[in-house]
Amino acid sequence: MATSDRRIIQRFPVDFRVDFIHAGDYMISCSKNISMDGMFINTSTPAPVGTHVNLIFPGEGSHEVEVAALVVWNREESSYQKPGMGVQFLSPLPQTVKKGFFRDIDRIVILSEKGVSS
C-alpha cells in the first residue's frame, strides 16, 4: 500500500455492474474495487465531491438493491487512469450485495495463494 493511500479498510479488485442515481439521472457504470466501507465507480460523469448518490446493485433474480453513498473524491480521465469517483457507503451493504462481491474476493484470494495471477 502506498504511503499516500489513506484507506484503513482493504479494497479488492472487482468488476461488476453498479449504477447510480444523481440529480434525478440514472447512470449506468461499473465498479473497479470495493471494500466494506466504499468503492470506486468507473464513470465518465462522476458526481461532485460531497454529493449524496444512490447506488443500484443487481440483486438476485430481477431485484435491485439500493444503497446510499457519499462521493468523497473523483477524477477525470487521463492517459493512465479511467474516470470515476470514490464513494463511501452511508449504510451497511445488504447481505445479497456482500455475497456477490465476497464470492469474487474469495476467488482472487484462492488464486493468489496458489500463485496464479488473476
Give the model confidence (pLDDT) of 24-58 as tens digits. 788 777 777 777 788 889 888 889 999 999 988 87
pLDDT at 6 over 70: no
Q: What is the per-residue pLDDT for 73?
A: 93
Q: Which residues pair with 17 in a beta bridge?
A: 30
Q: What homologous superfamily is domain 12-113 in, according to CATH?
A: predicted glycosyltransferase like domains (2.40.10.220)
Q: What is the pLDDT of residue 118?
A: 45
Task: Give the pLDDT confidence of 75-114 residue by residue, as tens digits.
Answer: 887 767 888 999 999 988 777 777 766 665 555 444 444 4
Q: What strands, in cross-sheet order, belong to the sheet with 30-34?
A: 12-17, 30-34, 38-42, 84-89, 64-75, 52-58, 19-22, 25-27
Q: Where are the domains of the chain?
A: 12-113
The CA dihedral of 2, 36, 68, 46, to the nearest 10 degrees, is 30
Report the pLDDT value the prediction gives residue 19, as an integer from 0 to 100: 84
Q: What is the torsion angle, in degrees rounded to the nearest 10, for the CA atoms of residue 55, residue 10, residue 5 and residue 113?
A: -130
- Stronger pLDDT, 51 or 116, i.e. the higher one: 51
pLDDT at 70: 96
